[in-house]
A and B are shown apart, each in its own frame.
Chain A
Amino acid sequence: MLDQANFLVPPIYYVALSGILFILGMVGVLLRRNAILIFMSVELMLNSANLAFVAFARSFLDVNGQVFVFFVMTVAAVEVAVGLALIVAIFRTRRSIDIDELHSMEG
């Protein structure tokens, strides 16, 4: 039987990793011009924030953090459904989802 203590990594490492993943998602939002890929990068950022939540929940032994992650996941699912519906609607009228070409809302 393996000792469980061998598998424990201090949560601070998870928080550092979540910071790195968040910044990678942020770079994706800034660099990509395709609306679907920007959306995926936002999902990456949401997931890194969730990872930080779970890491802090572990280090404070507080289950509220995990429940909050559950709610964030639900809201992310809602956001993806509505967001992708918007992308489909935009693609139908403009024939493109490249955000550089969507300047019809310019003043």
Chain B
Amino acid sequence: MIGYILFGLVALVAIVSAVGMLLSTNAIHAALFLVINLICIALFYLGLNAPFLAMVQITVYAGAIMVLFLFVIMLLGAEQVTLKSQLKWQAPLAIVLAVVMIAATFLLFFNVQASGGLSPLAPISEDPRQTETFGSPYAVGEVLFGAYLLPFEMTGVLLLVAMIGAIILTRNEAGGMRDEQRAASNE
């Protein structure tokens, strides 16, 4: 019972922070709302026997990625954003489509559940020998460095390529012209 109450509370915070992110007119506030949302998801990971992923979620997402977001927002001075769009018909259409998609998802969901199609999901396997070690850093590491060793090494190459790409995309041109000078010479 207490698990349901905790789940409901954290789920409420997650949904409210997601809606807050959608509606805020300040990009910094939106980023902070997203941090709350990511921490809520880390708590869900804890509830789903994934402590390793919860810690990775907090360090990588709420830490590194959101710091990068905040850094770019402040660097560009793009804090103030408007909700207005040049396409007047788009916002109502998007909301209508979202409501239709929510309705369709839940209809499908309850239909499948009523017909017992999601039987593996309904009962949680409660074999203590399995659940005790499931999702521990040891168990995850064993699979990560066993069956997934090659993909794991390839993500290292991927990160290197991304680092080089980000440097090349954001560097100044070889002439060493500053941004302001180049903007002036373009005009």
Partner-B contacts on A (CB < 8 A): 2, 5-17, 19-21, 23-28, 30-34, 36-37, 39-41, 43-44, 47, 50-51, 54-61, 63-64, 66-67, 69-71, 73-78, 80-82, 84-89, 91-92, 95, 97, 100
- CA A30 – CA B98 in complex, angstroms? 10
Known: A63-B140, A88-B170. A80 touches B3 (CB 8 A): no
Minimum distance in angstroms from B137 CB to a CB of chain A: 10
Count contacts on B: residues with CB < 8 A to the other chain: 91
> Are B120 and A24 neighbours in the complex by a CB distance under 8 Å?
no
> Are A73 and B22 neighbours in the complex by a CB distance under 8 Å?
no
> Are A84 and B72 neighbours in the complex by a CB distance under 8 Å?
yes
Is B174 in the interface zone, CB < 8 Å from A?
A: no
- B124 contacts which of A11, A31, A76 (Cβ < 8 Å)? A11
Known: A26-B101, A66-B53. A77 touches B73 (CB 8 A): no
- CA A25 – CA B34 in complex, angstroms? 11
Residues in B with CB closer than 8 Å to A7 are 2-3, 6, 47
Minimum distance in angstroms from A26 CB to a CB of chain B: 7
Is B114 in the interface zone, CB < 8 Å from A?
A: no
- B120 contacts which of A33, A60, A86 (Cβ < 8 Å)? A60
> Are A5 and B76 neighbours in the complex by a CB distance under 8 Å?
no
- CA A69 – CA B21 in complex, angstroms? 23
- Give the contacts of B155-187 with A (CB-CB under 8 A): 155, 158-159, 161-163, 165-166, 169-170, 179, 183
> Are A5 and B126 neighbours in the complex by a CB distance under 8 Å?
yes
- CA A5 – CA B127 in complex, angstroms? 12
Chain B 58-87 near chain A by CB (<8 Å), digits 1 or 0 = 001100110011001101101001111111
Known contacts A32-B22, A47-B41; 15 additional CB pairs below 8 A are A10-B122, A16-B109, A37-B27, A43-B34, A51-B41, A54-B53, A59-B121, A66-B140, A67-B143, A69-B50, A73-B60, A78-B162, A80-B65, A85-B169, A92-B179
- CA A23 – CA B73 in complex, angstroms? 25
Interface of B is mostly: helix
> Are B140 and A47 neighbours in the complex by a CB distance under 8 Å?
no
Residues in B with CB closer than 8 Å to A91 are 76, 78
- A81 contacts which of B30, B91, B166 (Cβ < 8 Å)? B166
Which 6 pairs of residues, A with B, have the shortest CB-CB distance?
A30-B94, A85-B166, A7-B3, A85-B169, A78-B162, A34-B81
Residues in A with CB closer than 8 Å to B83 are 31-32
- CA A32 – CA B52 in complex, angstroms? 33
Known: A27-B98, A78-B158, A88-B75. A37 touches B61 (CB 8 A): no
> Are B69 and A82 neighbours in the complex by a CB distance under 8 Å?
no
> Are B179 and A69 neighbours in the complex by a CB distance under 8 Å?
no
- CA A61 – CA B27 in complex, angstroms? 39
Residues in A with CB closer than 8 Å to B60 are 73, 77
